[in-house]
């Protein structure tokens, strides 16, 4: 089955620790995205990547980092510099410009 | 800056009622795309429809229909004969070019409308 996988579904960390969220897709999509969703809010773009070895900051990139070494993978690291990391994180991919984005199941991160 | 407004925060209906979810957008782009996504309690966003700015023809897919009116910058979504399984948060989104060449783009999402369909 083609799709996007994110792991783990729930993640708990202590404040001050970096944590990496996994995102893998087997849709052969060039573009991948990371969004953050807070309760009662829409999605906000953290980072995006249009091709391998290239990525760009979105609207709320501070405190986050990414890599795109393989077409299939786009991991997101939430660093200790992120002031409010507790949120629901969604990864998405799309085949190209203006095409619809397909989303993974999300990772709910709780930092205490 | 682009903006998507979903003025209805929550809607509650009884099964079999028709319900319309409103979406109003602002953009300076002449070419753009509009989307609707469904987010059930599981959390994963499910793509429903994409519509480009040059196609104002209404679309129907089963119990779902969409009304795009460029003159009022609206892209409303109607569910006919609602069912309990339609209960979810629905997001409207607008494409936005991230650079002048238009080679990168992002989606601007509204804050969503929580639809609850009661039996």
Rounded mean pLDDT of chain A?
Answer: 92
Q: What sign results for the dihedral spanned by CA atoms A40, A37, B107, A93?
A: negative
Separation CA A106–CA B6 (nearest Å): 23
User: At which residue do the structure tokens 């087997």 appear?
Assistant: A26
Check pLDDT > 70 for residue B104.
no
pLDDT classification of A97: cutoffs 50, 70, 90: low
Taking residues A47-74, what's their average pLDDT?
Answer: 94
The pLDDT, as a whole number, for residue A88 is 96
Residues of A with CB under 8 A from a CB of B: 33, 40-45, 48, 50, 56, 58, 88, 90, 92, 97-106, 108
Select the residue of A33, A102, A105 nearest B43 (Cβ to Cβ): A105
Rounded mean pLDDT of chain B?
Answer: 91
Share above pLDDT 90 across residues of chain B, in percent, rounded to a whole number = 73
**How does pLDDT run across B50-67, given as a tens digit for each residue?**
998 888 888 888 999 999
Find chain B residues with C-beta within 8 A of A56's C-beta: 98, 104
Question: For residue A59, how many C-alpha atoms fall within 13 Å in the half-sphere facing its CB?
Answer: 15
Least confident range from A44-53, A85-94, B80-89, B95-104: namely B95-104
Could you tell me the two tokens for B3?
């903006």
Q: Facing residues of A95 across strands?
A: none
**How does pLDDT run across B19-40, given as a tens digit for each residue?**
999 999 999 888 889 999 999 9
Give the gap in angstroms from C-alpha A79 to the nearest C-alpha of chain B.
23
pLDDT classification of B96: cutoffs 50, 70, 90: confident
Separation CA A5–CA A103 (nearest Å): 9
pLDDT classification of B102: cutoffs 50, 70, 90: low
B101: Cβ contacts below 8 Å, ≥ 6 apart: none
The pLDDT, as a whole number, for residue B119 is 96
Chain-chain contact of A98 with B103 (C-beta, under 8 angstroms): no
Taking residues B69-94, what's their average pLDDT?
Answer: 96
The pLDDT, as a whole number, for residue B1 is 76
Taking residues A18-46, what's their average pLDDT?
Answer: 93
Neighbours of A65 (CB within 10 A): 17
């Amino acid at each position: 089955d083609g799709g996007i996988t994110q792991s783990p579904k729930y993640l708990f960390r202590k404040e001050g620790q970096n944590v990496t969220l996994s995102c893998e897709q087997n849709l052969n999509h060039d573009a991948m995205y990371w969004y953050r969703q807070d309760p009662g809010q829409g999605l906000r773009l953290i980072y995006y990547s249009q091709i391998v070895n290239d990525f760009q900051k979105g609207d709320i990139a501070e405190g986050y980092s990414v890599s795109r070494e393989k077409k299939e993978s786009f991991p997101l690291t939430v660093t200790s510099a992120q002031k409010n990391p507790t949120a629901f994180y969604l990864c998405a991919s799309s085949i190209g410009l203006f095409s619809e984005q397909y989303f993974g199941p999300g990772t709910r991160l709780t930092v205490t | 800056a682009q903006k998507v407004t979903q003025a209805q925060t929550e809607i509650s209906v009884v099964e079999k009622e028709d319900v319309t979810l409103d979406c109003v957008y602002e953009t300076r782009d002449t070419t753009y795309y509009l989307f609707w996504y469904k987010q059930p309690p599981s959390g994963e966003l499910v793509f429903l429809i994409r519509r480009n700015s040059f196609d104002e023809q209404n679309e129907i897919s089963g119990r779902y229909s969409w009304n795009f009116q460029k003159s009022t910058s609206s892209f409303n979504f109607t569910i006919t004969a609602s069912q309990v399984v339609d209960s979810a948060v629905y997001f409207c989104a607008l494409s936005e070019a991230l650079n002048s060449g238009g080679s990168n783009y992002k989606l601007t999402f509204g804050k969503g409308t929580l639809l609850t369909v009661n039996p």
